[in-house]
Amino acid sequence: MVKILPSLLAADFTALGEDIGKMEDAGADIFHLDIMDGQFVPNISYGLPVAAAIAKKASIPLDVHLMTQDPDQFIPEFAEMGVDMVSFHIEATPHPHRVMQLIQSHGMKAGIVLNPHTPADSLSYLLREVDYVLVMTVNPGFGGQKFIASCVDKIKALDGMRKKHGYDFEIEVDGGINDETAGICIEAGAGLLVSGSHLFSSPDWKQAVGALKG
């Protein structure tokens, strides 16, 4: 069953509470929160106080996507505010296994994120224990970019590894997801679809959420 994760980076920050309520009414499954530090990616989004406000308002689960240099920072804080899933970039730490364990030890699902150039193979020894893999389908840092088609092969490779070994991690995709690219990613094996600019700019959010599920 495919799940839709609106990226709140594309919400109206002057009416965040309203957009959260409207997206929940439209059938969104999980909210995706993009945390950027201006170091790992060339942009800064929002931090802990805004994430805590979102957590207070939202009634569906929260998925935090850390685009930060030191992903082991702030894990207890996210757990404390009620976040359900936290993902971090494998390119951001020499100790991905340790960060994964840290997230899980706080009762949250741990996800590992791959930039467009990072091969699926880099996760071989993590796939048994990881809860989800986030395949970036754009370069992280900004909403509204074009889907990078070569990432589809990576989704297929991960799906193949999952089937071969009988693993149960989920595959999430993030970046340039719209009606057309959603179908391609689902077909390749993705079950969690993040969408920012496409969803929030749609005239009818309920229709748009439904259409992404195919």
25 as an active site residue: the answer is no
Write the Ramachandran bin of 107: left for phi over 0, alpha for psi from -120 to 50, otherwise beta: left
169 annotated ligand binder: no
174 annotated ligand binder: yes
Written as one letter, the residue type at 69 is Q
The reply to whether 174 sits near Zn ion by the rule CB under 5 A is: yes
Of 29, 34, 37, 131, catalytic: 34
Of 37, 63, 131, 174, catalytic: 174
> CB nearest Zn ion: which residue?
65
Using CB under 5 A, count the residues that bind Zn ion. Answer: 3
With CB under 5 A as the contact rule, the residue among 65, 89, 109, 198 that binds Zn ion is 65
Q: For the sheet containing 85-89, what is the strand order?
A: 3-6, 192-195, 170-174, 132-136, 109-114, 85-89, 62-67, 31-36
Instruction: Please identify, using beta-carbon distances, which residue of 48 and 128 lies nearer to ligand DX5.
Output: 48
Give the whole-angstrom CA distance, residue 181 versus residue 14: 29
Question: Which residue is it, tokens 């700019």?
Answer: 201
202 annotated ligand binder: no
Written as one letter, the residue type at 124 is S
174 as an active site residue: the answer is yes
- Binding region for Zn ion (CB under 5 A): 34, 65, 174
Give the residue numbers annotated as catalytic, written as ranges. Answer: 34, 174
